[in-house]
């Protein structure tokens, strides 16, 4: 797909994968079935993103607030996460995809933390990157970056007056990835639920009623088409952008 605004190609997509439980209920299945179908969708959407020329796909797998869910559901989600890490790392690497897990790992079990390290090592050479946000929260990300900078100032490694947006950004979880272009939420809710608060400042937002287990390559393609139908101004006027693209 070619962009009408070639200066702003779609390079980084993030997805809030919502609607697994509702999908399962709709189909008369237990909630775990929705989560299992949802995991399978990640591979298909990742492949479509590669076709679209996307460099990074970031998916919201488990938020820092999701620990409040019923203990049995949390247990199931942790089991699925562990299975995914062990099963998918080699497949991702063979498909040219590198894997990164971002978020606070401290609350995960030793088994999951070990699996994260091993999976990232196996899938580390791909030109495209899949980022899985697990036990992640946007406020936590910003606070963690601020805490890191404060420690550097206290240690004399940094002067407070030198802290700017670029310096703080370098300490966030997605440092080194392209700026976020498109944030998608499936499932019908119109909010970003503490996901990538810092990174989403100038991202295009796309909300769809499609439940995540039903969100496949075609839906991803439609979201990309919508992205390219918009004029991204970044504070400039429409006339300025049109003149630059002429």
**Dihedral angle over CA of 181, 89, 213, 225, nearest 10:** 30
* Phi, psi (rounded to 5 degrees) for 67: -65, -20
Q: Report which of residues 232 and 155 the model is more confident about.
A: 155
Out of 191-200, 205-214, 232-241, pick the least confident: 232-241
Report yes or no: 206 and 37 within 8 Å, Cβ to Cβ. Answer: no
What's the CA gap between 51 and 123, in Å, rounded?
19
Between CA 15 and CA 23, with CA 20 as vertex, the angle to 5 degrees is: 125
34 vs 232 pLDDT, higher one: 34
Residue 194 has what DSSP assignment? T
Predicted TM-score (pTM) of the model is 0.91
- Please state, in angstroms and rounded to a whole number, the distance separating the CA atoms of residues 56 and 157: 31
Query: Which is the catalytic residue, given 8, 20, 55, 66?
Result: 66
Task: Indicate the pLDDT class of residue 4, thresholds 50, 70 and 90.
Answer: very low
CA dihedral 93, 113, 109, 35 (to 10 degrees): -30
pLDDT tens for 17-39 read: 999 999 999 999 998 899 999 99
Catalytic (active site) residue 194: no
Among 125, 174, 121, 168, residue whose Cα is nearest residue 147: 168
The pLDDT of residue 131: 98
Q: Which two tokens stand for residue 208?
A: 């769809």
Question: For residues 203 and 181, what is the distance between their CA atoms, to the nearest angstrom?
Answer: 5
Is residue 3 pLDDT above 60, yes or no? no
Percent above pLDDT 90 for the chain: 84
Span 231-245, mean pLDDT? 62
Enumerate domains of the chain plus CATH numbers: 12-136+180-233 (3.40.1180.10)
Across residues 61-83, what is the average pLDDT?
90
SS3 126: coil
Active site residue 66: yes
Terminal alpha carbon distance of the chain: 19
Residue 206's pLDDT band, with cuts at 50, 70 and 90, is very high
Per-residue model confidence (pLDDT) at position 246: 62
Instruction: Mean pLDDT check: name the lowest of 1-15, 32-46, 132-146.
Output: 1-15
* Contact (Cβ atoms closer than 8 angstroms) between residue 34 and residue 17: no
- Per the model's pLDDT, the better-predicted residue between 235 and 48 turns out to be 48
Mean pLDDT of the chain: 92
The confidence score (pLDDT) of residue 241 equals 58
Residue from 8, 18, 21, 141 carrying the catalytic annotation: 18
């Amino acid at each position: 797909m070619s962009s009408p605004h070639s200066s702003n190609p779609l390079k980084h997509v993030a997805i809030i994968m919502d609607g697994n439980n509702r999908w399962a209920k709709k189909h008369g299945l237990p909630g775990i079935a929705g989560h299992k179908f949802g995991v399978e969708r990640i591979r298909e959407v990742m492949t479509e993103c590669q076709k679209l020329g996307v460099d990074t796909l970031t998916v919201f797998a488990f938020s820092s607030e999701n620990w409040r869910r019923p203990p049995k559901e949390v247990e199931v989600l942790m089991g699925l996460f562990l299975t995914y890490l062990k099963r998918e790392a080699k497949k991702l690497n063979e498909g040219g995809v590198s894997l990164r897990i971002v978020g606070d790992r401290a609350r995960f079990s030793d088994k999951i933390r070990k699996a994260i390290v091993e999976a990232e090592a196996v899938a580390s050479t791909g030109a495209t990157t899949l980022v899985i946000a697990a036990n992640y929260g946007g406020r936590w990300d910003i606070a963690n970056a601020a805490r890191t900078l404060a420690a550097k100032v206290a240690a004399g490694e940094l002067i407070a007056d030198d802290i700017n947006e670029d310096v703080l950004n370098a300490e966030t979880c997605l440092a080194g990835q392209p700026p976020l272009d498109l944030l998608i939420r499936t499932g019908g809710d119109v909010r970003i639920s503490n996901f990538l608060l810092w990174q989403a400042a100038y991202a295009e937002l796309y909300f769809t009623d499609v439940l995540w287990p039903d969100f496949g390559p075609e839906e991803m393609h439609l979201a990309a088409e919508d992205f390219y139908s918009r004029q991204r101004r970044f504070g400039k006027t429409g006339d300025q952008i049109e003149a630059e693209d002429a």
